[in-house]
C-alpha cells in the first residue's frame, strides 16, 4: 500500500480519511502500519484482555503532538478490515496523556455517504454515554499491565 496516495480526506477537518489499523472488538493486539513501507506490523500484544471498543486508526499526512499521525476512533457496530480506509466525520476528542506525553484521540462517526445511521450525531454528547464510558475505560486501562507504561484521561471535548 502506498500511503502517499491516500489523502487526509475530502474536506479536512470535517471529512477525514481514516486508515484502520485495529478493528472494533478485535483481539487484544495493537497493529500499526509502517509509514515507510505501508506494511501492517504487530506493534505489541496488549497485556490486558481488553478489546478495542471502536475501529482505530489514523489520518494520513497529519501529525499530532506525540509526533505520530492523528489517532482516530471510528464508532460503529461492525469491525472494519485493518488496512481499509473509511471516510469519517469527527464528533469529539478524548484528551489523554501517556508515558510518552500528549496522546489525544479523535472520536468520529462514519461519513453520511456511507450510512445515514449517524446523521443526527453532531458531537460526542449525542452518542450513548455508555459508549463514551467504554472508550474512556479502555484507554484508561489498556496499558495497565505493561511495565513502565501508563495513561491518564483528561476528558472529552467537542
Cell 484521561 -> residue: 153
- For 3-55, the pLDDT digits (tens) are 899 999 999 999 999 999 999 998 999 999 998 899 999 999 999 999 999 99
How many domains are there within the chain? 1
Classify residue 79: in a domain, yes or no: yes
Query: What is the pTM (predicted TM-score) of this model?
Result: 0.94
Structural domain boundaries enclosing 57 = 3-153
Share of the chain above pLDDT 70, in %: 100
Backbone angles phi, psi at 13, to 5 degrees: -95, 10
Q: What is the overall mean pLDDT for the chain?
A: 96
What pLDDT is recorded for position 35?
Answer: 86
Classify residue 158: in a domain, yes or no: no
CA nearest to 86, candidates 33, 10, 138, 28:
10
Classify residue 75: in a domain, yes or no: yes
CATH code for the domain of 10: 3.90.80.10
Classify residue 16: in a domain, yes or no: yes
What pLDDT is recorded for position 114?
Answer: 97
Cell 496523556 -> residue: 97
What pLDDT is recorded for position 1?
Answer: 83
Confidence of residue 65 (pLDDT cuts 50, 70, 90): confident
Classify residue 56: in a domain, yes or no: yes
pLDDT value at 109 more than 90:
yes
Classify residue 121: in a domain, yes or no: yes
Classify residue 46: in a domain, yes or no: yes
- Helix or strand run (H / E) with residue 156: strand 151-157
What pLDDT is recorded for position 66?
Answer: 86
Amino acid at each position: 500500500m502506498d500511503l502517499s496516495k491516500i489523502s487526509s480526506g475530502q474536506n479536512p477537518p470535517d471529512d477525514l480519511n481514516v486508515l484502520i489499523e485495529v478493528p472494533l472488538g478485535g483481539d487484544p493486539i495493537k497493529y500499526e502500519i509502517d509509514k515507510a513501507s505501508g506494511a501492517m506490523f504487530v506493534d505489541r500484544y496488549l497485556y490486558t484482555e481488553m478489546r478495542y471498543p471502536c475501529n482505530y486508526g489514523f489520518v494520513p499526512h497529519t501529525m499530532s503532538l506525540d509526533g505520530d499521525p492523528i489517532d482516530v476512533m471510528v464508532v460503529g457496530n461492525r469491525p472494519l478490515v485493518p488496512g481499509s480506509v473509511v471516510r469519517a466525520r469527527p464528533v469529539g476528542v478524548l484528551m489523554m496523556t501517556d508515558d510518552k506525553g500528549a496522546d489525544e484521540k479523535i472520536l468520529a462517526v462514519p461519513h453520511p455517504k456511507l450510512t445515514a445511521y449517524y446523521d443526527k450525531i453532531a458531537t460526542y454528547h449525542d452518542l450513548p454515554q455508555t459508549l463514551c464510558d467504554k472508550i474512556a475505560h479502555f484507554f484508561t486501562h489498556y496499558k495497565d499491565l505493561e511495565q513502565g507504561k501508563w495513561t491518564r484521561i483528561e476528558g472529552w471535548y467537542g
